[in-house]
Structure 1
Amino acid sequence: MTTTAGLSVDIAVRRGGFTLELQFALAPGATVAVLGPNGAGKSTLVDALAGLVPLARGEVVLADRTLERPAARVRLSPQERGLGVMFQGYCLFGHMNARDNVAYGLRARGVARARARAEAQAWLERLGVGEVGDLEPAALSGGQAQRVALARAMITRPALLLLDEPLAALDVSARAQARRLLAGWLAEAGAICVIVSHDVRDAVALADELLVIEGGRLTARGTAAELRARPPTEYVAAVLAEA
């Protein structure tokens, strides 16, 4: 499986008795949402792309750069992959203020502290939370923490963004506005983006296309309209009825 500029995924990942086997390719700038029931393998996909769990076989290629290929003994570390990752629950560093959380990726790449912190502050202001730079994560609201985590993922201008349940920590009243804002930020970033979500409304609002995983396998791919018109599984029919 090859690609010229986008993302190519052809993988098998084993975790205990569970095996995730997926094959798909994404064009540059594509935003896809990954849906599936609990235990389907959605977060395992994010962990595999990020380099947090090893592949049993296959390969991940991003912009003609092989991130992992066990057969050739190629496996870049998470830091070497240069991806932007926003974990479920945001996973901000509790001992750092918001500005230093955002600056972390630049500092890890050797950027001087003053420059990294200045860029981090600029990103916080860009996402509308410039006032929280000196606050630690425990003092942030859910919406503020979401924007800090997104700024941390985007500050290095990665070719691939991985967002695991990016809106899950927000209450219902805040989610509609957050969807609109996040969609705008992702369009501006121009990166390939893979979003994992349990909420089909988030997925439809944010993504160009949906990928559905059931039991560790890709069972559907297409736009919401395409899959609603011809749902290939009962799960797809049921979940899109909620959109």
Structure 2
Amino acid sequence: MTSSGNPPRNFTAIDTWVFDLDNTLYPHHVNLWQQVDVRIRDFVAAYLDIPAEDAFRIQKDYYRRYGTTMRGMMTEHGVRADDYLAYVHEIDHSPLEPNPAMGDAIAALPGRKLILTNGSTAHAAKVLARLGIEHHFEAVFDIVAAQLEPKPAPQTYQRFLDLHGVDPSRAAMFEDLARNLAVPHQLGMTTVLVVPDGSKEVVREDWELEGRDAAHVDFVTDDLAGFLAGVSAAK
């Protein structure tokens, strides 16, 4: 276990374990999200009838400003969420391989395990099935359950907590984007930032890799399965 450098909270009273999906429950270097990224660019280009390079700039601008490109496209251009989600998640999930070590580590955690993702339930189901860990999770809270308001919107976390009856002071949140941990930490959750393995090449924007020293990050790990095993051993 690695502390971010801040006086961290601990896992002693934790009975609910909340996980982001993409680039958190599978390694960053699989670059599965790169496929989605290309599909998003193509959707924006086709919808706005603009060249791919212009679509890419809009895509990334909306992603950073609105939390997801979809939210930006809905707000700025009236895109239908169902059409967007169906198109961008039509990808090849075969790069994902079963991860029994991750499954064992999650199973050993005492209490409930939940997914909180800006993706769709259908995409989450495919990812979890490929990893062989779907049976460890009680529920998936997706972008539709969030009423199409993505993390890091505060109301999205509150909807999640209310729907699933989660006490944030007894919950831990695992995420690959530091900015998505700010609200959970404010609410009282113990936060863990999952970062790429430094020896592997990853396709990410610079800002997505920032924040590991932020005050709202309690722990940082580049090996989630190992980190979880350590947490269980210490409880």
Question: Higher strand fraction: Structure 1 or Structure 2?
Answer: 1
Question: Higher helix fraction: Structure 1 or Structure 2?
Answer: 2
Question: TM-score by structure 1 length?
Answer: 0.29
* Greater relative CO, 1 or 2 (CA 8 Å, sep 6+): 2
